[in-house]
Structures are given as structure tokens and as C-alpha cells.
Structure 1
């Protein structure tokens, strides 16, 4: 196999995280490719950055220049223009940097924004093989208002028709992203192949020893049935809805506990803590801040059930790798996460369905264990970064027209 030079281009990069951009290039390197990353000189401008990520990452603005993460060389370029409301950037010196790296293929992360336009225009001159991936789903463009619809119509009618011959493949992360590309951008089926998100099985795995020790550290009893909800917390993740739904459940199941690991805006977290306090759930619902991955694994090992009733998150795959059954929303954006029927799906915002799913798992230890084994098997078979990297190489070869 030729050792292809793969240039990943993306708006933002946060080192030592569990995202696609952290693991896919690193696993590609282990498989013999030469990946390289170009990104901006800053972290993403997420809402309430100072409250949520600054305590962990520090300043959002970083220095331009080169560094390594997971063994992959990364070049941060200065930003010419940034739209913090849509996380779009234009990069200074991108054309020269691409020429210097001279990749066999460009992997552009994203299908909209300034950087996408910049790469498409540059590549109209360079004519390099181009693969794009897309995390854009109907759920994460909400509210899909007139302004957004108008923007995507411009992409559909003006931008992509001009550049479609320069794009070999687009890789949506799930079925919802694929349908969005077909319906909203008129991308033909022949150019679309799903490449799902995965997890790092060397960091996230089940350990009975760790489970016993960490449950003891958290003050949990051996008979407690523990659920976990983790990640960046917001109404889109349905965190408040989850806590509100549990107000009457604890009296029926005294051994049931909920761990909330992560953070959101101060106002949002205060509102959830208020619900907990007002309903005397302070000895049932426990809050923990963002945790490093090796500590987050311990939380998953201490738990018995993972619950994400709203927008999906990469934390779901991490929990599955630790052998947790999952409760997720019944939608095409979670189809790949429940491919082995390793969880229970519930209609978004349906309190009765959510409580029924939780009750079923709390009452049935064997069901929890069976679904947890299926979660682990799905990760081992498909949703791990090594398998996904191997699949990406196959897709690159197709894009290059090589066997």
C-alpha cells in the first residue's frame, strides 16, 4: 500500500480530546499513512466558553505555528476572518501551506463556511483529489430558519454545482447527515458514503476492578443502579428535561442514582440544580465537572446505564465502549449508535417513554448486561477509530481511482 500523504483541513482543533479530528488522523498514521492537519490559531467559540472550556483549556486564542498531538503534525494558521456565531474562519497562508505539504489527497472537515469556500477555490487551481466530511444534521442546524435555509439554497444552487467535479467524495457521519446533504445540497447518492464517529478503545474500556473502586470512592452502594449523562450540557442535550422527568421516579426506585458529568452555562446549570433542590433529589442526582478521559472512563465503569434523550454526543460511543446499555432518542441520527439493538430508543421529549425505558433497565439486571455486551460488540466491530480509519483508507483509494 502506498503511504499516502493526507492533509486534513478544519476550522478548529482542540488537543487531547475525543473528537474525530483527534483520532482519525492518528489512527491513519498507525496504519501507515502520512496525515497532516491545518487548522486555525484558536479554539472553537462555543457559547459560554469562559465558563465551560476556559477552566480546562485556557485562552481561546492560541499561537500560530506547528505542534504535535497524538503523533500527528499540526499547523495553526492565523485567522483572517472569523464568524463566531457560525464557527467559520478564513485562514492566512493556506494556499502556500497546501503547496508545501503537497498531499495526495485533501480531507476537508465540513461542507459549509468560509474555509470550505476557501479550499474549494484554492483546489480549483491545484486540482488535488478532495474528500469532505459532514457533521451537519437537521438536529444541529436547528432552528432551521429562513436565514439558514436561504444560505443552504445558495450552496445548493450556486456553490456546489460549480465545484462538484472537484469533489470526489463526501462522508456524512450518520444517516441524518446523509439525508441533509441529499435534500438540502443536492449531493448525489453516488458521492455519499457514511463514515461514522468512533471512540478510543485503549482509553475507554470496561474494568470490574475500576468499577468497584470508583463506586466506593463516589459513595455508591453495591446495589445502587446508576445512570450517567455526560458531555456539554444544554437544552439540545435535553439535560433539564431528563432531570425534570425523574422527579417522581426516585420514590419508586430508592436505589436509582443519576450522575451528571460535564457542564453548561451557569444559568443552565443553576436551573438544573434548582430542580434537584426543589424536589429533594440532592442525594439522588450528583454533579461533576468535565473530566479528563481516563477519569471519565471511571465514571462510565461506575454506571449501569447511559442516558442521552436529546442530541447525540461522542460521549455515547465512549460509554458504549465501557459496556453500558444506552437510552437515546428515536431518530435517524442515532441509528448507527443502536445498530446492534444495544439500547432503548425513546421519542424526543416524551416523558412517559423515557421513564418506561429507565424503569425497564433498572428492574432488569440481565437486560442491562445483555444490552451492555451488545454495546461493547458494536464498538469493537465498527465504532472504534482503527476500524473507521481503515474504512477511510478504502474511501480515499476510491476517490483516487485506485484499487
Structure 2
């Protein structure tokens, strides 16, 4: 394939201003000299291509429905993807997540266009980590069928941020641990590097003293996260030590 590869990153939504892992992944791959395309969804009836200042291209394909966070590409969108594969001849498709309808289209074409499939199983249905009900079990069953019959056989690498996550996904989807690679995607060393001055400024803005011990939660604010347990557990600690603070970032 040579040193310079053509890499597609397939995601459900893409917004550079939010700083999600897809943005930093595309930016760093571009810096390494690769040709990078972000495939996502737009509101128009036709596909639209935009070149960003960072040097990679964002391609919005049309869709006709959204089910639990998953976009279903329209017929025009599917045709565009097929034509793109034929003309651009990508080398690698990075799927975020591997079990989305968009990723499935790329996966089904892998043998025809001879590209490699990699990605993560970060289901937007939030099935593995949420309380289970009949609806969740049904949706997980569909996701597992897709992974077992299509994704597992055609993907070369499955990324996981930690060993624990790799083992959990391996058990849940019956994927060999040998297929997993541990890479903390989304961690930008420039964005999260330690800066004492910024630390002091931010603490002052939040009304926090230098001696305060701050426990930070960052993530979704929904019932499945059980933040009430965190608040209840910290309550007796905070009542005894006023220097302990809880910071919730949604």
C-alpha cells in the first residue's frame, strides 16, 4: 500500500468543535501524510464534500431515518459510497463503531474493493453498560448477530481503550482477544497536557481553592450512569471534609 494511505473514518456524527476522538484521529493521520476522509451524515438529499483547514475531507452522505442514534443511509447515500470506493480506492476503513449501518456497508464491500477494516465496538445503543430490559436485550441481539456474522470475520483489528474494556467486549460479542489492540483513542496530549497556570485560572473561575480535592465526572448525564450512587457515596465524605468537591461535566 506504500507509505501514504487513503483512510476513511466512518462515524455517525462529526463536529470538529466538540473535539471528539474522530477529529484528533483524522488530524494526526493527516499530519503523518495520509489522505483522510471522514464519512458522516448530512441533512441534504445529496452527498456533500468539504475540505477542512486541517487537511482532511468531510463527506456528508444523505440518510432517510435515525434509529437509536444510528443513521440509515438512503439509496443515494449507498450509491455514493460504492462509487467512492471505486474511484478513491481506500486502503483502510476505520469504523466508529463497527456495528453501525454505515460501517456495515463498508464492511460488506471489503472483499470487493480489497481494503482493511478496523474500528471499535462503542455501540450507540449503550447496551453493554446500561440496565437490561426486553428492548435492550432485543437490540443487543441484533447488534451481536451483525458483529458475529459480518464484522468479526471481515475486520482485522478491534480497538479498545483498556484491557478491561477489551475483555468485556470479547465476552459480549464472542470476539477473540487476539484481535484487540489497546490504543486510548481520543486522548490528545496537547489538549490534556498539564498546565499549572491554566489549572489555577480554572480553579479560580469555579471558586475552588488550591487545597480543595476535586472529584471529576465527565460523561453522559442519564439514568444508566447511576450518578446518584456517586453523590450518595460522597455525601458523608463531603460533610466531614468541606475541602472535598464534586465536579460534574455533562
Give the Cα–Cα distance (whole angstroms) in 2 for the partners of residues 192 and 223 of structure 1: 41
Higher RCO (C-alpha 8 Å, min separation 6): 1
Give the Cα–Cα distance (whole angstroms) in 2 for the partners of residues 109 and 75 of structure 1: 15
SS in 1 for 2:232: helix
Aligned counterpart, 2:145: 154
In the TM superposition, what is the alpha-carbon distance from 1:74 to its structure 2 partner?
Answer: 0.8
Counterpart among 223, 233, 246 of residue 235 in structure 1: 223
Note if 1:66 corresponds to 2:49.
yes
Aligned counterpart, 1:78: 62
SS in 2 for 1:204: coil
SS in 1 for 2:106: helix
Contact 1:133-1:173 within 8 A present in 2 as well: no
CA 1:194/1:69 → structure 2, altered by over 3 Å: closer, same or farther?
Answer: farther
Deviation sequence 1:81-116 (CA, Å, 0-9, x none): 431x25243251211122232212222222213223
Note if 1:109 corresponds to 2:96.
yes
SS in 1 for 2:219: strand
CA 1:226/1:103 → structure 2, altered by over 3 Å: closer, same or farther?
Answer: same
The number of residue pairs the alignment matches comes to 240
Aligned counterparts, 1:204-353, within 5 A:
204-262=192-250
In the TM superposition, what is the alpha-carbon distance from 1:123 to its structure 2 partner?
Answer: 2.7
SS in 2 for 1:203: coil
Give the Cα–Cα distance (whole angstroms) in 2 for the partners of residues 230 and 168 of structure 1: 31
Aligned counterpart, 2:163: 175
Give the Cα–Cα distance (whole angstroms) in 1 for the partners of residues 99 and 62 of structure 2: 20
Deviation sequence 1:337-362 (CA, Å, 0-9, x none): xxxxxxxxxxxxxxxxxxxxxxxxxx
CA 1:109/1:246 → structure 2, altered by over 3 Å: closer, same or farther?
Answer: closer
**Where does the alignment leave 5 or more consecutive residues of structure 1 unmatched?**
43-60, 263-403
Aligned counterpart, 1:8: 9
Deviation sequence 1:130-178 (CA, Å, 0-9, x none): 22332248743652743135324533654357xx2x4333323333443
**Where does the alignment leave 5 or more consecutive residues of structure 2 unmatched?**
none
- Which structure: greater helix fraction? 1
CA 1:71/1:146 → structure 2, altered by over 3 Å: closer, same or farther?
Answer: same
Note if 1:131 corresponds to 2:118.
yes
Contact 1:250-1:256 within 8 A present in 2 as well: yes
* TM-score in terms of structure 2 length: 0.79
Note if 1:40 corresponds to 2:44.
no
SS in 2 for 1:7: strand
In the TM superposition, what is the alpha-carbon distance from 1:69 to its structure 2 partner?
Answer: 6.3
Note if 1:31 corresponds to 2:18.
no
- Which structure: greater strand fraction? 2
